[in-house]
Chains A and B, each alone.
Chain A
Amino acid sequence: MERDSGPEGVRRALGRLLEAVLASRGEANAVFDILAVLQSEDHEETQEAVRACSRLFGALLERGELFVGPLPSEDSVMAGSQGATRKYKVWMRHRYRSCLNRLQELLVHSSFEVKELALSTLMKFVQLEGAHPLEKPKWDGYYLFPRQLFKAVVEGLLSLEDDCSLLLARFREYLEHDDIRYHTMQAATDTVGRVTDRHPEVPLTFWNNAFTLLSSVSLPSQERGICSFYVKHGELPRTWKVVHLKEHRKAFQGMWLGFLKHKLPLSLCKKVLVVLHDSILPHLAQPSLMIDFLTRAYDVGGAISLLALNGLFILIHQHNLEYPDFYRKLYGLLDPSVFHVKYRARFFHLADLFLSSSHLPAYLVAAFAKRLSRLALTAPPEALLMVLPFICNLLRRHPACRVLVHRPLGSELDADPYDPEEEDPAKSQALESSLWELQALQRHYHPEVSQAASVINQALSVPEVSIAPLLELTAFDVFERDLKKKGQGSVPLEFIPAQGLLGRQDDFCAQHFTLS
């Protein structure tokens, strides 16, 4: 075979070979040449070869020139005395198989174009195999999906070494189709199980890939939504599992539970928890099964516990979950870091929900209020602007707690009776204390904070202050607001003249720093 240099030449050569193979069975050996190019180092050539393979085997599949049924070994068939057609079909089927193997290898190729092309080619074969099955149906109307092939594709996607997020984004298009989604869920469950069985130490990339794939599966909310299929079929038998949303849900649940039962890295745990309440829990057939995962996450502490709160709340609220010591744990979650984490808004939104019940005992609410105000002593201004109204709202909801800010007949105390180390809110003696912290915050350097803290000087007004707009407040917003605020009149000036960069002698800067 003459080989021109450059992809153009290769393309033409491949085109000729392809036509030759398709034209007559005598030229079948040219397939080897095509497959040889598939092994090429050059990206362009590989792509050309993949395209040629796609056309070749696509045409062969449509013509039915591949062997149907369990594939016998090549040597036995060649040696045997069956008809030439059968021999040809078996031989061609073997070439098809080696082509598929190569394509799977290409899924982890260094070039994204090659990967993408390999993926789309494989998916085309999946479609064609579905329409022209290579297995004999067991009974009439038996649904034949090329499970083996598809599983191999999914396995290729969930690579152990490479980050396949781009390819997975491409694969997401196929997940629009209901049958593909269903089989993806099954294949993913399978793959995750197998990989975790095989490897004692699963690399992070695999978890990331798996999470990307899993999180891109989104179920339709209604049964009627299931009508788009990748592999076209004439009639839809009712017995076919793919058409039932229930089956989808089962598969979905199996997939996630199979995934979450493993010990995930913390960063991934966070990611899962972020999307859990929104895109996972509503689609599970039996959401309460998530309790194990959530309890485990809730016990981890820190940000993960905060995130787990959301899922727990849904389970408690909608699925009648009984959770012992919920408020005690929530109380335990309150530490100075809640004002600094990224999920502050979500946490306080939920905390507001949990504490909105008017049936909570006064000691509990008082403990929360006292704890929050104690923590407020370490909070940045944007958090203070949110948490101060929050505390005031607590006091408004529970008139019994107003003694925290108004105790006209109380006697003077030696020390704050509140015990910050106590884990049980019932024993923290918060009800006997007062919110001196808010009084201290009235001297905060930011005028709005001190204003917000000064609310307790007067009797609290009856309507609650909505904290929803304050939840997402950032320091930058506060800064911008201060910048835009116009004072009346001109800007007041310092009347003591400046003398140097470090200021006057009694300034801290001048005392502790030198210019040279």
Chain B
Amino acid sequence: MGKAKSAAARTRGAGAPAGAQGGRARPNPNPFEVKVNRQKFPVLGRKARHAVGQPGVSRARAVHKRTQTLLKEYKERDKSNVFTDKRFGEYSSTMSPEEKMMKRFALEQQRQHEKKSIYNLNEDEELTHYGQSLADIEKHNDIVDSDSDTEERGTLSAELTAAHFGGGGGLLHKKTPQQQGEEGEKPRSRRELIEELIAKSKQEKRERQAQREGALELTEKLDQDWKEIQTLLTHRTPNSENRDKKERPKPDAYDMMVRELGFEMKAQPSNRMKSEEELAKEEQERLQQLEAARLRRMRGEDEGSEARKPKHLSADDLNDGFVLDKDDRRLLSYTDGKMSIEEEQSREASDGESEEEQGEDLSEEDPENSSDPDGHSDLESDMDSEEDCGRPNGEPRQALGKGTTSIGHRAQEAARNQLPYTFAAPESYEELKSLLSGRTREEQLVVVERIQTCNHPSLAVGNKAKLEKLFGFLLEYIGDLATDDPPNLRVIDKLVVQLYNLCQMFPDSASDSIKFVLRDAMHEMEGAIEARGRAAFPGLDVLVYLKIAGMLFPTSDLWHPVVTPALVCMSQLLTKCPILSLQDVVKGLFVCCVFLDYVSLSRRFIPELVNFLLGILYIASPNKCGRGYTLVHPFRASGKNSELLVVSDKEDKATWQRRGLSLHWAYGLKAQNKTEANHTRLSCLAVCLALVKGCAQFYSSLPSFYAIVRPLRALLMEHLAGCSHPPELQELCQSALANLEEPEPRCRPLVCAKSKPEPLKLFTPRLVKVLEFGRKQGSSKEEQERRRLIHKHKREFKGAVREIRRDNQFLARMQLSETLERDAERKRKVKQLFNSLATQEGEWKALKRKKFKK
């Protein structure tokens, strides 16, 4: 407390005069000024606030203040002219007097320095440096030379110093090997030596000059050569270049170049380039960090560190997407590295081509848009991989557009060239649709990509909002594509990459858009459920949205604003939508796959999924005995759909081959003939069995695994018992069953965690906060606050009234003193007059008397 006070005093000391200082601030006030209010008796806990005071001092301070302010006003009350000080910074309190002086001086200099008249050309003086005109130096004709000169000029040569200042020994010692022979012949005098030195230095100087001239010549030659090469290099805009050349003299162009180079080099002392291994290592570290964050979120720990996660964009990202782009590129380059583990062969095959691609892209397009070509090369390499090294038979994605890709590659090139380079960002969904409709797949991709490029957030202010909207429109467009007849899934397949990129830029708005479409879907379902108690499976668009949501956001988080609602949505799909047709089965299985993919990392338990698979197995089972399992809601033990997947045709069974299910089935593709439908049924069953197997692997560590899969096991036994499936399916059944049959881990009885022993109840006194005296207690906080404010207001009001009264008193005093002064003056003058009159009178009388006397 005391320290703070004294510090305050010190800071205040400079401004105000010592007389006006508060007495409290001074360490030992004048004891005659101190007035002590004596306490009659001490009261415990009472703070005596006004025990000691210095009324005289404070009164003096008040009077001083009034004379400075009030009195001034009073005196100037009838004056209308104002005095303003126009000196620089006179009224600014932030500048120190020294600064003010400096500025004023600078301004004055400037004023003097300015040209008196613009027509007087000879006025400005030439500045020199070491006797050379600075204007010459600025032309940089002899940078090399001046540099070397300064170097040498800075330190005198060793010989010179030795000669002049006689640094003897060392020099002689150094010389000996060279001049041993000469010295042996005739010892030279000191004078000779010096002359020799002078001659030597002169010669050196000449040599240097010659060298310099040579260098100059060389540079000029180089300059010319460079010009030639440059025109070759930048043949794209030769016109402008030529024009430039004509307008400007040669050295200017060179100068410019040199300066530019110089600036660049000087501006960024960059780090050493990192080697491949280092980059890879860094990436790996970054990935490990991300993975650690993901695991943390999966376990639902430590929410605080979660916020740091998306910062992998950049530490000081302005959220304009600029830095992110760079990061994105690195991310992809990393992916290349990692992908080499996963799909090595394809990567190798495609690398050359994709790089070529990139080069071309870069020369064509904005250099800023570096992420897109990258993303593209990725895609293309995907396609190429399929093209180049055909997958082994039975690979699920084998059917992925084999014929079209080789043409597609070229078509994309064509699309790139045909389309305009700039697109305005669409303001509404209709605009986007009109932009994209009627174009081929490749063209659509290029259009979306270019929209992104042209409206990159770093280019203009409103672009961020535009791209955020674009995400929503694209989502809507994808929904439309998915509900088209037939669904245009290939375009969606490509657009997903764009969505991912946009989502990385704007996570919040992207999550909002996804939430919006999910809510829409759920609303629709909820309405149907309210009305009819059940809902039909939604269109393919909802399924696609669910899948996309899983790709944009981490699905393993314990809680995630998008993923958790999506999970609930899928659970609804699996529990509320009855299976009425083959199409529903395919949709349901797709949802199952998505669901299982969602939890593939976290291995979380999904009861609905097990139920649904049980139901599918049931409707595929030809001979049901219904022992050991119970079907739940969307499935019924009997009814017209209870044998939906049963295939009884022997021939169809024989000809069936296991293949990936086409998503077009989910749309409602009509089977051409019965065989095809039967094959699809068997494929569905195969998918279902594979999912059962996946579930078994995921959940085998759950404590009641045996109870969970009991119904599945019972049904699989039934399937096997019939022996009516094709051999491949039988095998699949067997392996799934084997997974389910895994020996049950020993059941360990549950034990609660030990809780802390509850402390004994102690009779500690209840502590109540004692409020200050003189305050009302027990009222609510608002009430107290109000009362406090009222009190404060009252006090302030009183203070203000007192101040006004004192002001008035002061003014009255002043007026009185003025009047008194005036009166005194008058009296004085009257007296004077009387005096003079009296003197006159006296003189006159004396004169008279004299006359009379005479």
B753 & A500 in contact (Cβ 8 Å cutoff)? no
How many A residues touch the partner, as a band?
A: 35 or more
B661 & A514 in contact (Cβ 8 Å cutoff)? yes
Report if B140 contacts A (CB, 8 A): no
Instruction: Report chain A residues within 8 Å CB of B703.
Output: 436-437, 439-440
Q: How far is the CA of A413 from the CA of B750 in the complex (A)?
A: 12
Q: How far is the CA of A411 from the CA of B747 in the complex (A)?
A: 9
Determine which of A339, A457, A489, A514 lies in contact with B663 in the assembled complex, contact meaning CB atoms within 8 Å: A514
Q: How far is the CA of A483 from the CA of B562 in the complex (A)?
A: 7
Instruction: Report chain B residues within 8 Å CB of A374.
Output: 707
The verdict on A440 contacting B497 (CB below 8 Å), with A379-B607, A415-B744, A514-B662 known, is no
Instruction: Report chain B residues within 8 Å CB of A487.
Output: 306, 559-561
A340 & B575 in contact (Cβ 8 Å cutoff)? yes
Determine which of A376, A479, A488 lies in contact with B303 in the assembled complex, contact meaning CB atoms within 8 Å: A488
Determine which of A406, A489, A495 lies in contact with B752 in the assembled complex, contact meaning CB atoms within 8 Å: A406
A511 & B660 in contact (Cβ 8 Å cutoff)? yes
A445 & B704 in contact (Cβ 8 Å cutoff)? no
A479 & B569 in contact (Cβ 8 Å cutoff)? yes
Interface 1/0 per residue, A375-417 and B, CB below 8 Å:
0111111001000000000000000000011111011111110
Q: Which residues of chain A in 429-461 are interfacial with respect to chain B, using CB atoms and an 8 Å cutoff?
A: 434-437, 439-441, 443-447, 450, 456-460
Main secondary structure of the interface of A (DSSP, over half): loop
Q: Which residues of chain A in 3-51 are interfacial with respect to chain B, using CB atoms and an 8 Å cutoff?
A: none
Instruction: Report chain A residues within 8 Å CB of B661.
Output: 512-514
The verdict on A516 contacting B496 (CB below 8 Å), with A445-B567, A485-B561, A493-B504 known, is no
A440 & B750 in contact (Cβ 8 Å cutoff)? no
Report if B648 contacts A (CB, 8 A): no
How many B residues touch the partner, as a band?
A: 35 or more
Q: Which residues of chain B in 598-647 are interfacial with respect to chain A, using CB atoms and an 8 Å cutoff?
A: 598-600, 602-608, 610-611, 630-633
The verdict on A490 contacting B300 (CB below 8 Å), with A377-B704, A440-B708 known, is no
Report if B423 contacts A (CB, 8 A): no
Q: Which residues of chain A in 476-513 are interfacial with respect to chain B, using CB atoms and an 8 Å cutoff?
A: 476, 478-480, 482-483, 485-495, 497-503, 505, 507-513
By beta carbon, the residue of chain A nearest B404 is: A516
Report if B401 contacts A (CB, 8 A): yes
Report if A263 contacts B (CB, 8 A): no
Instruction: Report chain B residues within 8 Å CB of A416.
Output: 704, 706-707, 747
Count of A-B contacts judged by CB separation below 8 Å: 305
Q: How far is the CA of A510 from the CA of B560 in the complex (A)?
A: 24
Report if B198 contacts A (CB, 8 A): no
B560 & A492 in contact (Cβ 8 Å cutoff)? yes
A445 & B606 in contact (Cβ 8 Å cutoff)? yes
Report if A59 contacts B (CB, 8 A): no
Q: How far is the CA of A181 from the CA of B554 in the complex (A)?
A: 66
B704 & A436 in contact (Cβ 8 Å cutoff)? yes
Determine which of B307, B607, B690 lies in contact with A511 in the assembled complex, contact meaning CB atoms within 8 Å: B690
Q: Which residues of chain B in 689-740 are interfacial with respect to chain A, using CB atoms and an 8 Å cutoff?
A: 690-691, 694, 702-708
Instruction: Report chain B residues within 8 Å CB of A503.
Output: 547, 550-551, 597
Report if B326 contacts A (CB, 8 A): no
Q: How far is the CA of A135 from the CA of B664 in the complex (A)?
A: 78
Instruction: Report chain B residues within 8 Å CB of A480.
Output: 519
By beta carbon, the residue of chain A nearest B504 is: A493
Instruction: Report chain A residues within 8 Å CB of B559.
Output: 447, 485, 487
A501 & B544 in contact (Cβ 8 Å cutoff)? yes
Q: How far is the CA of A494 from the CA of B566 in the complex (A)?
A: 15
- Cβ of A373 to closest chain B Cβ, rounded Å: 9
B747 & A516 in contact (Cβ 8 Å cutoff)? no
Q: How far is the CA of A447 from the CA of B306 in the complex (A)?
A: 17
Instruction: Report chain A residues within 8 Å CB of B603.
Output: 443
Determine which of B496, B550, B568 lies in contact with A446 in the assembled complex, contact meaning CB atoms within 8 Å: B568
Report if A225 contacts B (CB, 8 A): no
The verdict on A513 contacting B630 (CB below 8 Å), with A410-B749, A443-B604, A443-B702 known, is no
Instruction: Report chain A residues within 8 Å CB of B379.
Output: 499
The verdict on A459 contacting B755 (CB below 8 Å), with A380-B608, A500-B493, A501-B492 known, is yes
Instruction: Report chain B residues within 8 Å CB of A460.
Output: 752
Report if B572 contacts A (CB, 8 A): yes
Q: How far is the CA of A443 from the CA of B599 in the complex (A)?
A: 11
- Flag the segment in B11-19, B425-433, B588-596, B792-800 that touches A: B588-596
Report if B558 contacts A (CB, 8 A): yes
Q: Which of B293, B331, B518, B633 lies at the interface centre, i.e. has the most chain A CB atoms within 10 A of its CB?
A: B633
CB<8 Å pairs between A and B, sample of 16: A381-B571, A414-B744, A435-B750, A446-B564, A447-B558, A450-B604, A456-B752, A475-B572, A488-B303, A492-B560, A499-B496, A500-B382, A501-B547, A507-B600, A513-B396, A514-B663
Query: Can you name 11 extra interface pairs (CB under 8 A) apart from A380-B572, A497-B375, A508-B592?
Result: A377-B708, A380-B607, A381-B571, A416-B704, A437-B703, A444-B607, A447-B558, A457-B753, A474-B526, A475-B572, A508-B694
Closest 8 CB pairs of A and B: A489-B307, A340-B633, A410-B749, A407-B749, A445-B604, A498-B500, A514-B660, A436-B703
